[in-house]
Amino acid sequence: MSETTLIAKAAVVIAYDAGSGSHVYRTDCDVAFDTGGIRHIGPGYSGNVDRRIDGSDRMVMPGLVNIHSHPSSEPLNKGWTDEVGTPTLYNTTLYEYLPILRPDEAGVPHAANVAWAELAMSGVTTLVDLSVANEGWLDRAAASGLRVVLAPMFRSARWFSRNGHTVEYEWDEAAGRRAMDEALRLVDRAVQHPCGRLSGLIAPSQVDTCSAELIRDAIAAARERGMPIQVHTAQSLWEFQEMTRRHGLTPVQWLDSLGFLGSKASIGHGIFLDHHPWVHWPSKTDLQRLAETGTAVAHCPTVFSRRGITLRDLGSYLANGVVMGIGTDTYPHNMLEEIRTAGILARVMAETPENVTTGQVFAAATLGGAKALGRDDIGRIAVGAQADLVLVDLDHPMMQPRREPLRSLVFAAAERAVRDVFVAGRQIVRDGKVTTIDYNAAAAGVQEGQRRAMARVRQLDWAHRTVDELSPPAFPTVE
């Protein structure tokens, strides 16, 4: 029989309210749970207790659900893609920078561990891990203690640039098929893993690098398995123009024509829809079709804001009924900072603080992400839900005054006030430190992995530029 943990008389609980379908604050509240789920929420718990936690100075919130991340590669980009882009490709880093700084086989485990550790310490309990299939992935994900949705990516073509102002595609349908077959084997194994916390997502990589046949087969594989599906879509202006050139349809319209859209489907980023002012496209139907079909958008504001790019705008997507989830995509793997950035950018783009509330963004990072994954047992504190819980220290100086605890967490304290994290009733963060991963060792491994990757940059770059030419340092180095 599993151990029962009681958080006694929690000062604040962000609890799920079935009537409104969202969260509410509850105060002076007991939360009892075990590895099987949440057993009690409310005053006066009188059942068996194996471990008691004093909740008088704690806010208990549901674990955050990150529906778009790249743990095996993105930690290496720190100090590399912070403030660069290709001006002649609308400031994206996808086509010049992304292909030339990649982790080697030895670097992947360290990168993943850094990302997983940082996500856990920022309150994430479930994440979609969009990575290229790699040796030992399942067992490392299980060892992290997190609830990991493995999303091995596959595609029919790779993109590259020969000159920095055009993008070409090298197509190899057979290689895409082999990668998809391997991805399906991996997600099937994930579901069967004895830890019980792994699952799968079908992940054709990008809308412009997958053939129609590969997308259709991915849809069929997802439906056969009852799994969610996600593809990077509407993430760059170049991609939008390439898809309209090929098909006369927007990326979303093309996916719609293939039968991709639906309640267990999501698109990564969804920025350049046909209402975006930069695309100047005659139709204005993309937002409506996403809402009508229940297709979710994985919104990852930080990585795009570094290029001067952002969603137009989060509040409008929500107001139109689009299911919104939040993802980190890049470093820092800090979901609380991502929530903060999402809210601020929405208000800036709409030119009003009324565009979106912190509660709405938090709901996207919990309930929205859960819905995108087809789950109603995560992203919420409710009896019967999974015991994925985060304890926040209300006595932390950055959490005071306590008048509005969620906003204090998002706008001020962030991960500094996160003390404990439980996934499936088991503790993986204690006193602000991850217990399942050697974070310091992983960070040292990422440092060495980036050094090795940097050594290959000049050889891989089409113009044979140095690292400092491609990504100038903040200040020059002098003797």
Three-class DSSP category at 69: strand
Distance CA 471, CA 190 (A): 38
What pLDDT was estimated at residue 133? 94
Q: Torsions phi, psi of 236, nearest 5? A: -145, 155
What pLDDT was estimated at residue 150? 98
- Of 334, 363, 402, the closest CA to residue 120 belongs to 334
For residues 295-303, give the mean pLDDT. Answer: 98
DSSP string, 83-129: S---GGGTT-STTTTGGGS---TTTHHHHHHHHHHHHHHTTEEEEEE
Asked if the peptide bond before residue 353 counts as cis, ω within 30 degrees of 0, the response is no
Contact 28, 79 (CB under 8 A): no
Q: Where are the domains of the chain?
A: 5-62+383-434, 64-372
For residues 40-53, give the mean pLDDT. Answer: 95
**Would you place residue 2 in the very low, low, confident or very high pLDDT band (cuts 50, 70, 90)?**
confident
CATH class, 5-62+383-434 region: mainly beta
Domain 64-372 adopts which CATH fold? TIM Barrel (3.20.20)
Distance CA 468, CA 462 (A): 15
226-268 per-position pLDDT tens digit: 999 999 999 999 999 999 999 999 999 999 999 999 999 999 9
154-185 per-position pLDDT tens digit: 999 999 999 999 999 999 999 999 999 999 99
Distance CA 192, CA 171 (A): 33
Average predicted confidence (pLDDT) for the chain: 97
pLDDT for residue 51 is more than 90: yes
306-353 per-position pLDDT tens digit: 999 999 999 999 999 999 999 999 999 999 999 999 999 999 999 999
372-415 per-position pLDDT tens digit: 999 999 999 999 999 999 999 999 999 999 999 999 999 999 99
pTM above threshold 0.95: yes
What pLDDT was estimated at residue 479? 84
Q: Which two tokens stand for residue 287?
A: 């937002």
- Of 404, 340, 430, 383, the closest CA to residue 59 belongs to 404
- Exposed, middle or buried, 265 (CB in 10 Å: 0-12/13-18/19+)? buried
What pLDDT was estimated at residue 1? 58
Distance CA 440, CA 417 (A): 20
pLDDT for residue 12 is more than 70: yes
Contacts of 210 (CB under 8 A, 6+ apart): 155, 156, 157, 176, 204, 218, 231
